[in-house]
Structure 1
Amino acid sequence: MTNAWNDFNDARQNANLIPKGTIARVRLTIRPGGFDDPSQGWTGGYAKRGQTGAVYIDAEYTVLEGKYARRKVWSMIGLYSPKGPDWGNMGRSFVRGILNSARGLSDKDNSPEAQNARRISGIADLDGIEFVARIDLGTDANGDEKNDIRQAVTRDHKDYAAAMGSLAAPMGFAPAPAYASHQSAYAAAAQQPAYAAPAQQSSYAPPQHQQPTHAPHAPQQPAHAPQQAAPAPVAGARPTWAQ
């Protein structure tokens, strides 16, 4: 390899390609295609329909950190093909991986919380989502090599935590869907009584109920007079001094 400034025979054919197998955190941006089919849940103009009748998501991925930060990769996420269900099923599998990766789930986790985290309200929920991807190599329409992303890396992968960085969550916890934690908080609140009495009665009596011993006008009880016990508090009743 000469690296001579005037001899380019040993230069890489395409230096812009990210090496195959690179693991990186990326952000998905959808390039809207203007195609809607409400019966399929494709609304908002995010889907795109090709000349063959195939429907897909036109995806742009931006590498967020590391050696290839700010580099972009483009690919299609299949929604429907007139040739059969395979392309749509591949797209569904890929989106499942994206949600697992973005929300810190193991693909083996089938708990109700994990199943809820794998649901979206529409394609718009995927726009801007960040996850860990394995960057691959494919070919474009002209047969030339290009980068592609076909696989999301989940927390089961040994490189997931390092790539996700501070966004990585403990095993089994989904950080992204805030609605799950909100539902848990509401359920816990619903189990609390409307009024909860103090767990422990305070031994401190309010000043207006105390008769200081040094007050000259305070009547003194005879030494032999029995001490009158304070009335027992009624459960759930508010003390008169708090009114």
Structure 2
Amino acid sequence: MSYDLNDAQPQMAPIGELIPDGTFAKVRLTIRPGGVNGATPLDAGLLKASQSSDAKMLDCEFTVVDGPYARRKFWQSFTVAGGKLDEKGQSIGWKISKSAFRAMVDSALGLNPKDETTAAKAKRVLPGLKQLEGIAFVARIMVAPASNPQYRDQNRIANVVLPDEPQHAAIMRGETVPPDPINAPARKTAAAPAPGWGAPQPSAATPPAWSAPSPTAAPSTPAWGAQPTVPQAAPPPQPPSAMPAWLNG
């Protein structure tokens, strides 16, 4: 017997090595259930309880799909209920997370964020947060400094890259885009900055071909293609128009 190592995958990067600040990459989301029920039957046992407040969170693992940092992982939690409240008594964390989840859907499906047609709105309706399992979208990744020197810095999503941004189509085609660091030192300018009221306004970005299909092959049995099974009672039937596009294949 012998072991043929020629077809082995390249070794993983050293544990703890971070993806460089400002890197653009296509990432895939995997949910790590925490045993706490969400607001819908589909989300039974899906959430994780905060150890310091009444917040309930979606514990997410992100894996880079392709490019120079393919298979690299990082983790981030999103508050979906509880925590600090605004003046209306609504969860501040959930409003932030809701915006991020909408951006993920728009990025994954190539929806222009300004598209408010009936068809586009229907694709942004989720019967449960469980439907985010397996979603692949373009992200700008940052290095978040640790607040405690005893811990390491960590990768986080700085922002989801939307289809009307120039990097989106390139990353979806599998191209490499130069990073745009979040924590880069300020650039020095010769002239003093103009007052706020006189500053030039940024021109509107020209929408790229955001609907271009991704070259990355879909997983053989993605969660997007099938209704997940949950231990609780099945949710009420949803009209086809209210289901995300990835659930319809």
Distance 1:150 1:42 in 2: 28
Q: Give the aligned length.
A: 166
Distance 1:173 1:67 in 2: 21
Is the Cα contact below 8 Å between 2:163 and 2:211 reproduced in 1? Answer: no
Residue of structure 1 in register with 2:141 after alignment? 135
Residue of structure 2 in register with 1:67 after alignment? 68
- Equivalent positions of 1:189-228 (< 5 A) are none
Task: Give the Å deviation of 1:82.
Answer: 3.0
**Pair 1:163-2:171 in alignment:** yes
Superposition RMSD on alpha carbons, in Å?
Answer: 3.2
Residue of structure 1 in register with 2:77 after alignment? 76
- Assess, with a 3 A threshold, how the Cα gap between structure 1 residues 67 and 36 changes in structure 2: closer, same or farther: same
Question: Which one of 105, 111, 124 corresponds to residue 111 of structure 2?
Answer: 105
- Assess, with a 3 A threshold, how the Cα gap between structure 1 residues 162 and 170 changes in structure 2: closer, same or farther: closer
What are the ranges of 5 or more consecutive residues in structure 1 without an aligned counterpart? 1-13, 183-243
Task: Identify, as 1 or 2, the structure richer in strand.
Answer: 1
CA offset digits 1:121-154 (Å, max 9, x no partner)? 1111001111111101214463531110142111
Distance 1:174 1:115 in 2: 21
| Deviation >3 Å, runs of 4+ | 139-144, 169-177
Distance 1:174 1:68 in 2: 21
- Assess, with a 3 A threshold, how the Cα gap between structure 1 residues 141 and 74 changes in structure 2: closer, same or farther: farther
- Assess, with a 3 A threshold, how the Cα gap between structure 1 residues 173 and 110 changes in structure 2: closer, same or farther: farther
What's the TM-score, normalizing by structure 2?
0.59
Equivalent pairs: percent with the same residue? 35
Counterpart residue type for residue 77 of structure 1: F
- Assess, with a 3 A threshold, how the Cα gap between structure 1 residues 16 and 174 changes in structure 2: closer, same or farther: closer
Counterpart residue type for residue 161 of structure 2: V
Is the Cα contact below 8 Å between 2:31 and 2:58 reproduced in 1? Answer: yes
Relative contact order, CA 8 A, sep 6+: which one is greater?
2
Residue of structure 2 in register with 1:17 after alignment? 18
Distance 2:157 2:61 in 1: 10
What are the ranges of 5 or more consecutive residues in structure 2 without an aligned counterpart? 1-14, 86-90, 175-207, 215-223, 226-239, 244-249
